[in-house]
Amino acid sequence: MPANLTPEYRDAERAFKEAASTPEKIDALQHMLAVIPKHKGTEKMQGELRRRLAKLKQESEHARKAGPSRGAPVYHLEREGAGQVALAGAPNTGKSALVRRLTHATPEVADYPFTTRVPIPGMMPFEDIQIQLVDLPPLDPQFGELWVPQAIRNADAVLVVVDLAALELLDEIENTVALLEKAKIALEPRPALPCGYVTKPALVVANKVDLPGARETFDAFAELYAGRFPAVAVSAETGEGLEELKRAVFGMLGIFRIYTKEPGKKPDLTKPYVLRVGATVADLAERVHKEILAHLKYARVWGHGKFEGQMVHRDHPLADRDIIELHT
């Protein structure tokens, strides 16, 4: 149903966009609510305006209580598992739905924007390891929470979540990239940037592929962004593409798993050591115990492309799923 917004409403909206302070924004929103035509076609918009108003009032109340010296909230996210991956993206793209589906966390999912207000971590099992996903409030040029880029900065990798059914899909992704770059976060692969930038491995997660026409949109999108960002098409609703997503997340963290064994015994395949790609036998020995590193003579390796029990030195590079016997 068309909203049939009046010029009076448009003026109020403009005043809101130009408002520089929270009290001005609250005044402008109240005016927008007062003059918005009240009919079925604007019900959703009215709901959204009320939500924004409530949020601004709450923020101004917090700021009043905290006094002038206190700034935006700072959330400390305890790192857990083999890596921390932040979900970034425009409102309503399905970040929370993905975290709900992939972990045991239960962030709220709703069909209106700005549902998520605080970071919600959850552990995603991938084969025999756990990777921490962090659901975050949306990135938005106007209403984004100021602390969100910092939370993304602290993560090991970023999932840029986009909604394949969104009319302005390309604007959404470019807005997200621009907001991150404003916070000096560059997404890989990216040519060298001036100093002060951090670079994060990134993957575009094109969500809602279950919706009509979404697959075609994804194909066109993937072609357009080839070489700029890797992308996977998924559905938090049906589970499509999630196995591929998990594997890609593992890949982007640049980590691998090593199992250890004692001479004459079977390897312990239940709990791998997680190391960074490029790690050597010496790095593993140090992880197991500093004493072992100090007395390390050689190791034996069982794994891909090696003959069983091959003897190797401390600088031998390891690979995912190698089994290692350390000899001191």
Ligand X SMILES: Nc1nc2c(ncn2[C@@H]2O[C@H](COP(=O)(O)OP(=O)(O)OP(=O)(O)O)[C@@H](O)[C@H]2O)c(=O)[nH]1
Chain residues binding Mg ion by CB under 5 A are 95-96, 115-116
Of the ranges 42-50, 113-121, 168-176, 197-205, which one interacts with ligand X (CB under 6 A)?
Answer: 113-121
Determine, following the binding rule CB under 6 A, whether residue 86 of this chain makes contact with ligand X: no
Three-state DSSP class for residue 235: coil
Binding residue (CB under 6 A) for ligand X from 30, 46, 60, 115: 115
Q: Are 188 and 177 in contact (CB under 8 A)?
A: no
Work out the burial of residue 29: count CB atoms within 10 Å of its CB; fewer than 13 is exposed, 13-18 middle, 19 or more buried: buried
Three-state DSSP class for residue 54: helix
Three-state DSSP class for residue 59: helix
Determine, following the binding rule CB under 6 A, whether residue 109 of this chain makes contact with ligand X: yes
Backbone region of residue 213 per phi and psi (left: phi > 0; alpha: psi in -120 to 50; beta: other values): left
The DSSP code for 41 is G
Q: Which is nearer to Mg ion, 98 or 326 (CB)?
A: 98
**Beta carbon of residue 106, minimum distance to Mg ion (angstroms, whole number):** 12
Determine, following the binding rule CB under 6 A, whether residue 111 of this chain makes contact with ligand X: yes
Q: Which is nearer to Mg ion, 100 or 316 (CB)?
A: 100
Q: Which is nearer to ligand X, 236 or 284 (CB)?
A: 236
The DSSP code for 280 is B
The DSSP code for 138 is P
Angle between helices 95-102 and 242-252 (to 10 degrees): 90
From 154, 87, 155, 167, select the one nearest 120 (Cα to Cα).
87
From 104, 82, 118, select the one nearest 251 (Cα to Cα).
82
Of the ranges 70-78, 95-103, 144-152, 296-304, which one interacts with ligand X (CB under 6 A)?
Answer: 95-103
Of the ranges 31-39, 235-243, 290-298, 319-327, which one interacts with ligand X (CB under 6 A)?
Answer: 235-243
Of the ranges 46-54, 106-114, 184-192, 267-275, which one interacts with ligand X (CB under 6 A)?
Answer: 106-114
Q: Which is nearer to ligand X, 82 or 109 (CB)?
A: 109
Binders of ligand X among residues 46 to 85 (CB under 6 A) are none
Rounded CA gap, 199 and 13, in Å?
A: 37
Total residues binding ligand X (CB under 6 A): 22
Sign of the CA dihedral 188, 190, 192, 195?
negative
Residue 200 interacts, among ligand X, Mg ion, none and using kind-specific CB cut-offs from 5 to 8 Å, with none
Determine, following the binding rule CB under 6 A, whether residue 235 of this chain makes contact with ligand X: yes
Residue 207 interacts, among Mg ion, ligand X, none and using kind-specific CB cut-offs from 5 to 8 Å, with ligand X
Determine, following the binding rule CB under 6 A, whether residue 114 of this chain makes contact with ligand X: yes
**Beta carbon of residue 115, minimum distance to Mg ion (angstroms, whole number):** 5
Three-state DSSP class for residue 243: helix
Determine, following the binding rule CB under 6 A, whether residue 138 of this chain makes contact with ligand X: yes
Determine, following the binding rule CB under 6 A, whether residue 241 of this chain makes contact with ligand X: no
Angle, CA 70 vertex, CA 64 and CA 74 arms, to 5°: 120
**Beta carbon of residue 142, minimum distance to Mg ion (angstroms, whole number):** 17
The DSSP code for 317 is B
Residue 256 interacts, among Mg ion, ligand X, none and using kind-specific CB cut-offs from 5 to 8 Å, with none
Determine, following the binding rule CB under 6 A, whether residue 113 of this chain makes contact with ligand X: yes
From 78, 119, 85, select the one nearest 102 (Cα to Cα).
85
The DSSP code for 137 is P
Determine, following the binding rule CB under 6 A, whether residue 25 of this chain makes contact with ligand X: no
Site residues for ligand X per CB under 6 A: 91-97, 109-111, 113-116, 138, 207-208, 210-211, 235-237
